[in-house]
Amino acid sequence: MIFDPFQIKNLHFKNRIIRSSIGGKMAYFDGTVSSAFKNFEKRFAENDVAGIISPTIAVDDKRASPLEYPKLTQDRFIKPIAEAIKAVHNYDCRYIIQIGEAGAHTQTSLFNQKEDSKSSSTLFDFFYGYQNRHHAMTIEEIEMAVNNYAEAARRVREAGADGVEITASKGYLIQQFLNPGVNRRTDKYGGSTDKRFQILEEIVLAVKKKVGEDFPIGIRLSAADYNYLPLNIRLPITFPLKHWYFGNTIKENLYYAQKLKALGIAYLHIDKGYGFPNPKGNPGGFPVHEIKMFNNAGRHLSFKSWARAVAFNALPEFILHPIANIGWKYVPGISADDAKIFKDATGLPVIANGGFQEMDLIEKTLQEGKADFVAMARPLLANVNLVKLFQQGLNTPEIPCTHCNRCPVRTATYPLGCYDITRFKSQDEMEEQIMEWVASSDERINQL
How far is it, in rounded angstroms, from Cα 403 to Cα 353?
14
x/- site string to ligand FMN, residues 140 to 169, per CB under 6 A? ---------------------------x--
User: What is the rounded CA–CA span in Å between residue 232 and residue 174?
Assistant: 18
Residue 187: CB minimum distance to ligand FMN, A: 28
Question: What x-and-dash track marks residues 309-348 binding ligand FMN by CB under 6 A?
Answer: ----------------------------------------
Residue 289: which region, alpha, beta or left (left: phi > 0; alpha: psi -120 to 50)?
Answer: alpha
What residues does 165 pair with on adjacent strands?
98, 218
Sign of CA dihedral 59, 64, 69, 71: positive
Given a contact cutoff of 8 angstroms between Cβ atoms, the answer to whether 212 and 158 are in contact is no
Question: What CA–CA distance (Å, rounded) separates 257 from 265?
Answer: 9
Q: Which lies closer to ligand FMN via its Cβ, residue 56 or residue 383?
A: 56
Q: Based on the shown chain and the rule CB under 6 A, indicate whether residue 271 belongs to the binding site for ligand FMN.
A: yes
- Give backbone dihedrals phi and psi of 52, rounded to 5 degrees, phi first: -125, 135
Q: Does 51 bind ligand FMN (CB under 6 A)?
A: no
Contact code string over 55-84 relative to ligand FMN, x by CB under 6 A: xx----------------------------
Whether 374 contacts 362, CB under 8 Å: yes
When asked if residue 287 is in the footprint of ligand FMN (CB under 6 A), the reply is no
Sign of CA dihedral 24, 80, 92, 343: positive
Member of 8, 16, 17, 23 binding ligand FMN (CB under 6 A): 23
Choose the binding region for ligand FMN from 107-115, 245-253, 360-368, 405-413 (rule: CB under 6 A).
Answer: 405-413
Smaller CB separation from ligand FMN, 60 or 271: 271
For residues 167 and 103, the answer to whether their CB atoms sit within 8 Å is no
| Region 202-241 residues binding ligand FMN, contact defined as CB under 6 A | 220
Q: At what angle do helices 78-89 and 139-158 cross, to 10 degrees?
A: 50
Part in contact with ligand FMN (CB under 6 A); list of ranges 39-47, 145-153, 305-313, 376-384: 376-384
Query: Which residue of 117, 121, 282, 402 would you call a contact of ligand FMN, by CB under 6 A?
Result: 282
Phi, psi dihedral angles at 134 (to 5 degrees): -80, 150
If the CB atoms of residues 24 and 181 are measured against ligand FMN, the closer one turns out to be: 24
Instruction: Indicate the Cα dihedral angle 52, 55, 56, 60, nearest 10°.
Output: -120
User: At closest approach, how far in Å is the CB of 385 from ligand FMN?
Assistant: 16
Question: Any idea how long the chain is?
Answer: 448
Q: Does 377 bind ligand FMN (CB under 6 A)?
A: yes
411 binds ligand FMN (CB under 6 A): yes
Rule CB under 6 A: which residues touch ligand FMN?
20-24, 55-56, 98, 167, 170, 220, 271, 281-282, 353-356, 376-379, 407-408, 411
